[in-house]
Amino acid sequence: MHLHDFTAPDTPAASAALELAASYHSPAVLNHVVRSWLWAEAFARIEDRRGVDHELLYTSAVLHDIGLVPAFDNVALSYEEAGGHVAVALTAGAGWAPERRRRALEVIVRHNWPSVDPAADLEGYLLEIATGLDISGARADVLPRAFVREVLAAHPRLTLGEEFTASVTDQADRKPATAAGRIVRSGVAAKLAQHPLEGISGS
């Protein structure tokens, strides 16, 4: 498995999602969302998951944290739901049918669930375990180490730990009943500070 095995979909929605993410995210968070897509695709291959909607997965992965950005923050909604609605608007502009736009919202919201049943939502499951790896270090030994090093060299973690901790803590303080509150209470700051991928970033 190599980085060049995975190519971003060449579609209007995928291109627009990356452009939007690059315009609003810091380099560290942009690298995080791209890595999350790569981990999701790699888990799909390792687990032999069939029937993945790769455009949906890519678009959702790249936009999954856009709700943390002040421009898209929502006074009441969780950041993942706010980000999901950004994805709905973007994919509507790209010509997606209403049902598929709704899937982008579902996948982004479910990435913050404690777990997702792959039989019910394959793309949601893949994004949930991918972000679980990149934020909490879950399943850190599942993917081939050479591939992990290659991804980290191309998309280093930079200051993700400090930035994500600050953003999600702010969300938890203002909206404690949302997933951000649970994530903070589960010790995300310590998990990021002691992340198993930090020691091999850029190697």
Q: What is the DSSP string of 98-137?
A: HHHHHHHHHHHHHTTSS---TTT-HHHHHHHHHHIIIII-
For residues 18 and 195, what is the distance between their CA atoms, to the nearest angstrom?
26
Taking 70 as the threshold, does the pLDDT of residue 203 lie above it?
A: no
pTM of the model: 0.95
Residue 76 dihedral angles phi and psi, to the nearest 5° = -120, -40
Taking 50 as the threshold, does the pLDDT of residue 22 lie above it?
A: yes
Give the confidence band of 201 by pLDDT, cuts at 50, 70, 90: low
Region 8-200: CATH code: 1.10.3210
Least Cα distance to 131 among 57, 36, 65 occurs for: 36
* Integer CA distances (angstroms), 146 to 46, 47, 52, 59, 203, in order: 14, 18, 24, 26, 10
* Per-residue model confidence as pLDDT tens digits over 45-62: 999 999 999 999 999 999
* Per-residue model confidence as pLDDT tens digits over 100-148: 999 999 999 999 999 999 999 999 999 999 999 999 999 999 999 999 9
For residues 20 and 12, what is the distance between their CA atoms, to the nearest angstrom?
12
**For residue 119, how many other CB atoms are within 10 A of its CB?**
7
